Chains A and B, each alone.
Chain A
Amino acid sequence: AQTVTQSQPEMSVQEAETVTLSCTYDTSESNYYLFWYKQPPSRQMILVIRQEAYKQQNATENRFSVNFQKAAKSFSLKISDSQLGDTAMYFCAFERGNKLVFGAGTILRVKS
């Protein structure tokens, strides 16, 4: 069974600093997709970034980038130049067929 583990329940970072959120997953599949979603206090789920497992190049979206280590089954999210609006709960997700399996989430607080 596929599982997704986020080992950091809460993290904080100073504005303009860089922070990395960890995610590990377990699967026997060779081709799959991984996602990071953000849930701000409004509770609206927003897709942050997507990674295709067969691509070795790490995905990047503006200030957000991932460190994808397929052999280690690790998929961390790096947020550069953190902004107050980045304060949210972040979920790592693994695609399984038509469905996503989510981790428990990491609460990120950006401090001014």
Chain B
Amino acid sequence: SQTIHQWPATLVQPVGSPLSLECTVEGTSNPNLYWYRQAAGRGLQLLFYSVGIGQISSEVPQNLSASRPQDRQFILSSKKLLLSDSGFYLCAWSAKAGKTYNEQFFGPGTRLTVL
């Protein structure tokens, strides 16, 4: 069965510090991968998605970047965090083969607080 991992679960960082959040998927190959941000009590905002290694699409211009160095690894980064980067970050994956719809499966999330 497929599983998706995110770490760390919780992170408190000072303004101006770098960021690296990691997401890995097990039990599938060549998935679509997604990074979302959820502000407190709000909906999900798609930040980045990837259809393959090294292929990253950015949805919202911002202080963040994403990379996919391996097929099942997706990394969210920032060189200098802003207060507005605080939120709950969710990684998700979806299968390509054998599906006509994009059902996404979510990781447990990372709660980021920038002080």
Closest to B43 in A: A104
CB 8 Å contact bits of A39-64 with B (1 = contact, 0 = none): 00011111100101000000000000
- Is B108 a contact partner of A91 (Cβ separation < 8 A)? no
Please judge, given known A-B contacts A43-B88, A43-B109, A44-B108, whether A102 and B103 are in contact too, CB under 8 Å: no
- Is A45 a contact partner of B94 (Cβ separation < 8 A)? no
Cα distance A93–B47 when bound, in Å? 16
Q: For chain A, what secondary structure do more than half of its interface residues adopt (helix, strand, loop), or is it mixed?
A: strand
Please judge, given known A-B contacts A98-B94, A104-B42, whether A43 and B108 are in contact too, CB under 8 Å: yes
- A51 CB to nearest chain B CB (Å): 10
Number of A-B residue pairs at CB separation under 8 A: 47
Which residues of the other chain, B, contact A107 by a CB distance below 8 angstroms? 41
Q: For chain B, what secondary structure do more than half of its interface residues adopt (helix, strand, loop), or is it mixed?
A: strand
Which residues of the other chain, A, contact B109 by a CB distance below 8 angstroms? 43-44
- A19 CB to nearest chain B CB (Å): 20
Which residues of the other chain, A, contact B106 by a CB distance below 8 angstroms? 44-46
Cα distance A98–B104 when bound, in Å? 10
Question: Any chain A CB within 8 A of the CB of B11?
Answer: no
CB 8 Å contact bits of B41-60 with A (1 = contact, 0 = none): 11110100101000000010
